[in-house]
Structure formats: structure tokens, C-alpha cells
Structure 1
Amino acid sequence: MKNIFYFFILLINLNSFAQEVVECDFDANLSINILKNSEEGKNTTSKFVKGVFENEVIAFINFDFGKELVVKITENYPSKFFQTYKNDALKAANGKLISEEIVNINNIEILSIKLSFSLDDENKIAQHYIFVYKDIVYLLQFMNNENEFEKFLNFRKSIIDSIKFK
């Protein structure tokens, strides 16, 4: 009986989780699942969606600087570009690197870095996924309180796994 109860709790949580995201054709290059309550915006060089799931802040951004500038920014891609991004992110957050890895989605190399930092006297963890696809720089960022970060691993994985390149 106890196992059945836990099963229904899990099922309810999975259903509520599934209802929180929708597929979004982010731009001409890819689609990604986003939160239903996401805020969207754009300016001349970027587009973003940003949402909050419990305490988890999720932002997905593209930077369309034009082909010439992207080629210059991503010179020696991916090694130099990834190293520069990692150093800049750590410096901007005044943070510490927790982990770094290159992940591959559909033959696209993506830098994943996880860093810790302090924001408004709270310890936070952010995980960034950055890559270039069709001369556009994309950044997916997850941020949460340090003590709640591990709670959302499956949620983050489902968002990452939802990326579909066109």
C-alpha cells in the first residue's frame, strides 16, 4: 500500500512537472521546451526567454551579432571561445568553478560549466550551457540556491534534452 501511495505521489509530481513546460520554436535554428510562465523579449542583437520554476531561474538567450563578429568571437572554436567564456563568467559572478565539461548534442559541442557564487547574501549555483550554431551564440542558464540545486537535476536534463536543431 505504501508503494502505491508513493507511486501516485510521483505520478502527480510528474504530471504537474510536465504541465509546466511547452515546446517553443525559439528561432529559425532550434526549438526548446520553456516554462509556460516564461517572459520573452528581444533587442537588436539578442532574444531571450526567462522563467522561474519554484526557485529555479531558467534563461535561454541567443546572441546574433552578425556572421563577421561571431566568426571573430568564436575564433579557435571551441577551445579558446569556451575558455574565454568560462573565465568571463567566473569573473562576472565573482564565483568559483565547480565543474566543467563538453557535452555533445547532435554533433554540436556545448560547454557546460557549473559555478558557485554569492548573490544578495545567499549562496547560489548556476549552470551554463553555451554553444554556437549557424553563426549565433546560444546560452542556456539555470540558477538556484545552493541547497536546492541538486533537487532539479531531472528538470534541467529534460530542458536540455528538448533542444532540437533545425
Structure 2
Amino acid sequence: MNKNADTILLVEDNPDDAELTRLALARHGLDGRVTHVSDGMQALDYLYRRDGFANRAGGNPTLILLDLKMPLLDGIGVLKEIKGSDQLHNIPVVVLTSSTEPSDLLRAYEAGTNAYIAKPTEFSQFLSAMKHVCEFWLNINQTAPQSPSAATRVSGFGELN
């Protein structure tokens, strides 16, 4: 696998948090490898190559950084769809959120998250957290090979390719 070509899908509705995350990733040389979408439906469109992402190049992302509280479709809904999909379930998903509510942690793990990170409020701590997340998920973790494209199926979010 070409680690330099691996991509990160950042699913974050807050523009300030998205910029902060991109800045932290850029400090670790990952700025050109991040694709940002601002809600859960866009994330699924990206992953299933629908609408504006129908012709996107490359395979699935190596890592998804997923916020929980978003409009249209929240992070739990996205997580359930990813982990329930034959073609997407092996993609590591790290919930990256400001919530430390026990109920959010429980729901995220029940839905299949691979890790849950409450965003540190200090920028230096946030930089450190992003460094460790990326080091593990992009450099140390061995990812499963991508599944061949699954047939179109219907879910609660419409027809999925």
C-alpha cells in the first residue's frame, strides 16, 4: 500500500473545527490528504460515489474522522451505515467530537466506532492527539484490503451503490 496516497475523510459541520483539524493534520504533513465534507449525507455521498462525488478518483479513505452532532444525518447514523455496509465496514472510523457525554460514547461504540476522541480544548493537546491518531491509523495499523464493489442496495438513506 502506498501510504503517501492514503486519504482521510473529515466529516465536520463546524467550519472552525474543520479548519482547526486540517491545520493540525497539516502540521503532520497530511494537509494534501484530507477531504472535508460538512454533513453526514455528504459523507455517504462521498463514500458511495453519488451526486457531486460520482466521479471522484481513488479508493475509499484510509481513515474517517467523524463528528457526532451534525445536520441532516448525525455521526451515529453515518457510523451505522458505514459499519453495516459490505463495502465500507472495514474503514476505520474515529469519532472526533466535543461531547464527553457517557451516552454519546456508548452510542458510538454500539454503532461500531473504532475509537472515540473528545476534542481537547488546548491547541497543543489537540495537535498531540491528531499526531497520535494519524500515527496509529495511517502508519501502524494494518488495514483490510478494500472489498470489491457491492451491488446496489436500499437503506434508510435511499439507494446505495
TM tier relative to shorter chain: under 0.3
TM-score (norm 2): 0.26
Query: Which of structures 1 and 2 has the bigger CA Rg?
Result: 1
Flag the structure with higher strand content.
1
Flag the structure with higher helix content.
2
TM-score (norm 1): 0.25
